[in-house]
C-alpha cells in the first residue's frame, strides 16, 4: 500500500512544517487555516471501473473468467488498464472501485482487490446486477464518486504520452481513427475544447473517437448529473447513458478537453484480443521489458520474440513466436505456435497454431481423435 503510506508521510511532514512555522505566528488559527487548505488540495485520484458485462463476444473464454481478467501479455486486461492510467495521471491512486455482477463470485473479487493493492490503492467492489446502461453502472459506485475520478471501461487498453489537464472539468480520452463513422466522436473548437459529442456520424465532423476513459475534476458533479438522469428516467433504448450526463454538463458551461492517446487496443472478440496481445507484446519488447520468466524450461526449442513466457512453462521440441503469450504452468511439446494467446496450465502437443486463443487448464493434441469442447467453442 505504498501510495497510501506516502500520502500519510506527506501529511505528517506538512504538519511538522506548519507547526514549526506556527511558532512565529501569533494567532494559531492561522496555522489551522494553512493545514485545512493543504488538506483540501491533497485529494488523491480514484478510478471507477464498470465491468459487469458478460463478455459474450469472447466466449467460451468468458464463461468461467470475466473478460477484464483475461491476461494480455501476462497481466489481466484490467490490471494493465489501471496501471497505464496511473502512469498518465502521475499521482497516487487512493481507490479503485470495480463494478461487477454478483455472479462473478468471491474469487474474482479477491483477484480485483489484489490488483488494486499491487498499485498501492484500496480496492472496492460494487455490484450492477441489471444491465441498465453506462450511467447506471457508474452510479452503482456513487459512494466512491468524490474528488477527482477517472471512469474507465475495462475492455480497453491504450498507450499514451500526454499530460492530463487537471484544470479542465473533464478530459475525454480519444484516438484519431480512419473511419469515425463506426465510433462516438468529439468535435473541437479553435481553443481545443470539446463542443459536441456525436455518435457514429454519417457525415464527417471529427476523427477523434471516444475510447471509453474519462477524467472528471469533481466526482460529486458527475454524480449529481447522473442522479438527475435516474431520478427523471432519462433513458435511450431503455438505458441510462453517460453521454446524456456529459451533454448536460457541457450545456452548463463545464470545460471539456480531449486527451489524445497514441494507441488504442480493443478486447471485444477473439480476433481483436489476439491482435491486442501481439501489439502489447511488441510495445513491451520495445520498452526493454524481460518477458521470459527465469524458471522456463527450454529443451530443443526456439523462442522468437516478442513473446511472454510465464512461470514454470516447459517447452520441448517447440518453436514459439513471434507474438505469443504462454501463461503460468503451460507445457508445449512438438508444436509450432505464433500470434497466439494461451492462458494458464494448458498442455499443447503435436500442433501448428496461428491466431489461436486457448483458455486455462486446456489440453490440446493436434493429432486428436477424441475431444471435449465446451459451449460456444470454435475450431478453425
- pLDDT given at position 361: 85
Identify the CATH homologous superfamily for domain 45-268: Spore Coat Polysaccharide Biosynthesis Protein SpsA; Chain A (3.90.550.10)
3-state secondary structure of 162: coil
Cα(35)–Cα(57) distance, integer angstroms: 52
Cα(224)–Cα(142) distance, integer angstroms: 10
Q: What is the pTM of this model?
A: 0.81
Q: How confident is the model at residue 372 (pLDDT cuts 50, 70, 90)?
A: very low
Which of 274, 367, 287, 360 has the alpha carbon at shortest distance from 324?
274
Tens digits of per-residue pLDDT, 244-275?
999 999 999 999 999 999 988 877 778 888 89
Query: Cα 42 vs. chain centroid, distance in angstroms?
Result: 25
Which of 16-25, 70-79, 118-127, 206-215 bottoms out in mean pLDDT, i.e. has the lowest?
A: 16-25
For range 184-213, the mean pLDDT: 90
For range 64-68, the mean pLDDT: 73
210 - beta bridge partners? 174
Whose cell is 478453425? That residue is: 380
Percent of the chain with pLDDT over 90: 48
Longest dimension (CA), the chain: 89
- pLDDT given at position 147: 93
For range 69-75, the mean pLDDT: 88
Question: Cell triple for residue 135?
Answer: 450511467
- pLDDT given at position 369: 44
- pLDDT given at position 86: 87
Q: Which run of H or of E encompasses 152? A: strand 149-152
- Indicate if the pLDDT at residue 69 is higher than 60: yes
For range 41-63, the mean pLDDT: 70
Task: Provide φ and ψ at 342, rounded to 5°.
Answer: -120, 130
Query: Cα 53 vs. chain centroid, distance in angstroms?
Result: 14
Cα(125)–Cα(98) distance, integer angstroms: 5
Please compute Rg for the chain using Cα positions.
24
Cβ pair 189, 208 in contact under 8 A: no
Q: How confident is the model at residue 21 (pLDDT cuts 50, 70, 90)?
A: low
For range 160-164, the mean pLDDT: 82
- pLDDT given at position 70: 85
Among 41-50, 68-77, 205-214, 268-277, top mean pLDDT goes to 205-214
Cα(6)–Cα(11) distance, integer angstroms: 9
- Work out the burial of residue 227: count CB atoms within 10 Å of its CB; fewer than 13 is exposed, 13-18 middle, 19 or more buried: middle
For range 67-78, the mean pLDDT: 87
Give the C-alpha distances (Å, rounded to integers) separating 87 from 24, 220, 370. Answer: 40, 24, 48
- Indicate if the pLDDT at residue 334 is higher than 60: yes
What are the sequence ranges of the domains in the chain? Answer: 2-40, 45-268, 291-365
Q: What DSSP letter does each residue of 252-269 carry, written as one string?
A: TT--EEEEE-SEEEE-SS
123 - beta bridge partners? 96
Cα(10)–Cα(269) distance, integer angstroms: 44
Whose cell is 506527506? That residue is: 10
- Indicate if the pLDDT at residue 283 is higher than 90: yes
- pLDDT given at position 144: 95
Question: Cell triple for residue 334?
Answer: 512438438
CATH number for the domain formed by residue range(s) 291-365: 2.160.10.10
- Indicate if the pLDDT at residue 30 is higher than 80: no
Amino acid at each position: 500500500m505504498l501510495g497510501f503510506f506516502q500520502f500519510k508521510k506527506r501529511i505528517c511532514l506538512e504538519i511538522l512544517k506548519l507547526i514549526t512555522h506556527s511558532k512565529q505566528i501569533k494567532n494559531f488559527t492561522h496555522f489551522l487555516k494553512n493545514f485545512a487548505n493543504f488538506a483540501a488540495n491533497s485529494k488523491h485520484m480514484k478510478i471507477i471501473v464498470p465491468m459487469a458485462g458478460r463478455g459474450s463476444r469472447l466466449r467460451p473464454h468468458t464463461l468461467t473468467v470475466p473478460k477484464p481478467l483475461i491476461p494480455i501479455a501476462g497481466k489481466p486486461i484490467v490490471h494493465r488498464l489501471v496501471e497505464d492510467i496511473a502512469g498518465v495521471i502521475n499521482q497516487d491512486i487512493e481507490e479503485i472501485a470495480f463494478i461487477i455482477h454478483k455472479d462473478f463470485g468471491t474469487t474474482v473479487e479477491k483477484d480485483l482487490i489484489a490488483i488494486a493493492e499491487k498499485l498501492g490503492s484500496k480496492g472496492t467492489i460494487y455490484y450492477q446486477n441489471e444491465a441498465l446502461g453506462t450511467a447506471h453502472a457508474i452510479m452503482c459506485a456513487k459512494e466512491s464518486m468524490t474528488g477527482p475520478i477517472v471512469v474507465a471501461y475495462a475492455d480497453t487498453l491504450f498507450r499514451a504520452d500526454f499530460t492530463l489537464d487537471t484544470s479542465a472539468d473533464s478530459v475525454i480520452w480519444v484516438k484519431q481513427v480512419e473511419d469515425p463513422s463506426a465510433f462516438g466522436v468529439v468535435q473541437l473548437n479553435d481553443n481545443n475544447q470539446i463542443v459536441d459529442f456525436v455518435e457514429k456520424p454519417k457525415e464527417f465532423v471529427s476523427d477523434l473517437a471516444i475510447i471509453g476513459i474519462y477524467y472528471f475534476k469533481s466526482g460529486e458533479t458527475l454524480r449529481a448529473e447522473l442522479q438527475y438522469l435516474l431520478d427523471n428516467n432519462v433513458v435511450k433504448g431503455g438505458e441510462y447513458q453517460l453521454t446524456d450526463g456529459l451533454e448536460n454538463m457541457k450545456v452548463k458551461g463545464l470545460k471539456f478537453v480531449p486527451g489524445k492517446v497514441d494507441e488504442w487496443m480493443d478486447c471485444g472478440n477473439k480476433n481483436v484480443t489476439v491482435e491486442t496481445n501481439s501489439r502489447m507484446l511488441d510495445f513491451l519488447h520495445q520498452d526493454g521489458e524481460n518477458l521470459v520468466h527465469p524458471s522456463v524450461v527450454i529443451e530443443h526449442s526456439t523462442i522468437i520474440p516478442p513473446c511472454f513466457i510465464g512461470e514454470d512453462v516447459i517447452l520441448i521440441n517447440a518453436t514459439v513466436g513471434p507474438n505469443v503469450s504462454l501463461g503460468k504452468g503451460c507445457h508445449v511439446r512438438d508444436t509450432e505456435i505464433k500470434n497466439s494467446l494461451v492462458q494458464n496450465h494448458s498442455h499443447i502437443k503435436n500442433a501448428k497454431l496461428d491466431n489461436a486463443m486457448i483458455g486455462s487448464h486446456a489440453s490440446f493434441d493436434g493429432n486428436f481423435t477424441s475431444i471435449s469442447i465446451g459451449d460456444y467453442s470454435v475450431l478453425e
